[in-house]
Amino acid sequence: MQLQKNISLKKFNSFGIDCIARDFVIFKSNNELIEIAESFQNSILDSHFILGGGSNILFTSKKIDCIVLKNELCGIQLLRENEEAFFVAVAAGENWHQFVLTCIENGWAGVENLSLIPGNVGASPIQNIGAYGVEIKDVIESVEAYHIADKCFQTFSAAELDFDYRDSIFKSRWKNQFIISKVIFRLNKVPNFKISYGSIDAELEKMGIQTLSIRAISDAVIRIRSSKLPNPALIGNAGSFFKNPSILKQDFDQLKIQFPEIIGYTNKNGSIKIAAGWLIEKAGWKGFREGDAGCHANQALVLVNYGNATGSEIFTLSEKIIESIHKEFGILLEREVNIY
């Protein structure tokens, strides 16, 4: 364990925002995490920031005036299996996409639709990440996390985590109380292919796939995402910046009269989920650029840093988009990216 002072976080966040951490420390094992928590107990309890892959964060301040804990826990282990599933333990610091590729290699089904999502495994249950008809709650068995105040590791079943759309108990009632160390996944032996959402089926046809497999679906998702989403290594971004909003069916029907081409999907509760990217593009923001802050030319849902934009400039652009969508459609967008 080595505490570092005044460290730039530019290379640790996918937006490439230059923010200074007053105190910065990396932990690579549970023992190191315990040592840090005990050594800086008062500081961590007062204020701390857990940094994983840095792919879902926008720094709007020039300095983080607290201790930043960089999670680099690693390891993937097959714990057990039964007739239907494999149970796989994955350390929170593992790269999400690399874990998905490991699943593909081993024939562990269930996360292939979540290929190429940026970030680390530890963020997946916090955010309840999802794409192309699959959410992480569908495949989580349990989560192990370190309780900062009680100085102990606890294990929670998926049912205890109050999963919702891009949400979990770790973002609400338990916010800043736990540090996720491990996620246990329940992965299928017999795949349950989901290809109707988005354009996966069309992409598979374009690829000439005649026999479905989790590898084929993963490859199709990678091709789709690569064609639409900018590479953070080339253009700073955090993927989808806004959540897809849900509205009442009667409100959707009214919008459908005015905008016949509006895209919506029926939720289990009967409400309609609207494609936020469609709303933003329809309002004319796609490809918009102001200085180095912009709305990507290929995917309106993605805000980007073309080089030297500040977090505040990107946040201001998001405010303008939210106001514009509310004015034109009467819908209030919510950010998916965490603002700090």
Match 């102990």 to its residue by tokens. 152
Q: Which residues are identified as catalytic? A: 166, 240, 336
Q: What are the distances in angstroms from CA 131 to CA 4, 14, 153?
A: 37, 19, 30
Q: Closest Cα partner for 155 from 184, 135, 130?
A: 184
Is the separation of the CB atoms in 145 and 153 below 8 Å? Answer: yes
Angle between helices 96-106 and 214-228 (to 10 degrees): 150
Query: Could you tell me whether strands 76-81 and 85-91 are parallel, antiparallel, or unpaired per DSSP bridges?
Result: antiparallel
The rounded distance, in Å, linking the Cα atoms of 98 and 74 is: 12
CA neighbours closer than 13 Å in the CB half-sphere of residue 245: 21
Q: Closest Cα partner for 88 from 72, 100, 71?
A: 100
The H or E element spanning position 281 is helix 276-282
The rounded distance, in Å, linking the Cα atoms of 319 and 191 is: 41
Instruction: Kindly report the number of other CB atoms within 10 A of residue 216's CB atom.
Output: 21
The rounded distance, in Å, linking the Cα atoms of 204 and 219 is: 9
